Amino acid sequence: MKNSQTSYIRRRLSLLLPLLALTLAAALLSLVLGAVNVPLGEVFAALFSGGDGSAGARIVLYARLPRVLGCILAGSALAVSGAITQSVLANPLAAPSTIGVNSGAGLAAALCCAVAPSMQALVPVAAFFGALLSALLVLFIAERTGASRLTLILAGVAVSNVLAAAVDAVVTFFPDALNGYSDFRIGSLANLSLERLTAPSLVTVLALAAALSLTNELDVLSLGRETARSLGLNAGRARILLLAVAAALAGAAVSFSGLLGFIGLIVPHMLRRFTGDESASLLPACALGGASLLLICDLGSRTLFAPYELPVGIVLSFAGGPFFIFLLLRQRKGRVV
């Protein structure tokens, strides 16, 4: 028993430690590289002693550090949200961006900014309720029409389009509701500040802790509703609770990063090949994998065409669109990635 437990811990660490190293390396490169490269020594001086007031220190502390922290928060939240959604709905094509969760969070965030522009701390809360309601709406439509995997995705696409049109309407009537609206629709981490990340980071940390505490319920629920009931789990209540956690994660990310897509789809699929379906291993791996993926994509968006910058959502769409088509083709053949 002791040897098997030691072997299990080693297997988990053999995946998590490289992912952690990749995340830290990507974060450090993001602090160093950009339109203006900052020497590594100056980066460390700025981080640990506040720097000497030089231009490089100001770039690190006020431009790149909030952006790096935003990448870590949003990437982790969206990837874990995607892993939970796929397991709860037993659908490998489900993700916050494909079933309308991101769009619901975006609409609620836009409404909050329009009605109470001075209360930015409420935006993550509003985004959570918008994400949860849109997820429940898609689930209701899918179950009433057959609950097939394709039906769920089609319902998500339809709801996403309606909610996106509602966001357009809000911005039309309240032009100042979302500054940098095009970046919000595409997904961007430009112009972040540490103050803007305070409330979303609190929501993300609490939701991640809740997700990790519910891994047993998630594993049982992924076996199917009837099996879960036979094992004594209240499947309906567990489903709603886990969808609420997924919605909180997606809503917190959308509130400051916009409608970033495909992280919640790509990362869980990639990492399930190494972790299997065990949630206790999958969720921490997804948190690190999502953070590192978004850091790398954001670094590319800032440096590939410097001094011009692409919104990171464009880079993710170039990667995620073909991946989604590949998954659809695999589903047609009756296989799951």
How large is the average pLDDT for residues 37-57? 83
Residue 38 has pLDDT above 80, yes or no: yes
Task: State pTM to two decimals.
Answer: 0.87
Going along the chain from its start, the domains and CATH numbers come out as 2-332 (1.10.3470.10)
Q: How confident is the model at residue 337 (pLDDT cuts 50, 70, 90)?
A: very low
Whether residue 212 is predicted with pLDDT greater than 90 in this model: the reply is yes
Instruction: Tally Cβ neighbours within 10 Å of residue 293.
Output: 24
Average of per-residue pLDDT across 297-306: 87
pLDDT above 90 coverage of the chain, percent: 22
Pick left, alpha or beta for residue 97 (phi over 0 → left; psi -120 to 50 → alpha; otherwise beta): alpha
The verdict on whether omega for the bond into residue 18 sits within 30 degrees of 0, i.e. cis, is no
Eight-state DSSP code of residue 118: T
144 has a pLDDT exceeding 80: no
Token match 């949860």: residue?
132
Q: Is the peptide bond before 284 cis (omega within 30 degrees of 0)?
A: no
Most confident of 129-133, 176-180, 221-225: 129-133
Average pLDDT for residues 302-325, to the nearest whole number?
81
Q: How confident is the model at residue 7 (pLDDT cuts 50, 70, 90)?
A: low
> Above 90 in pLDDT, residue 131?
no
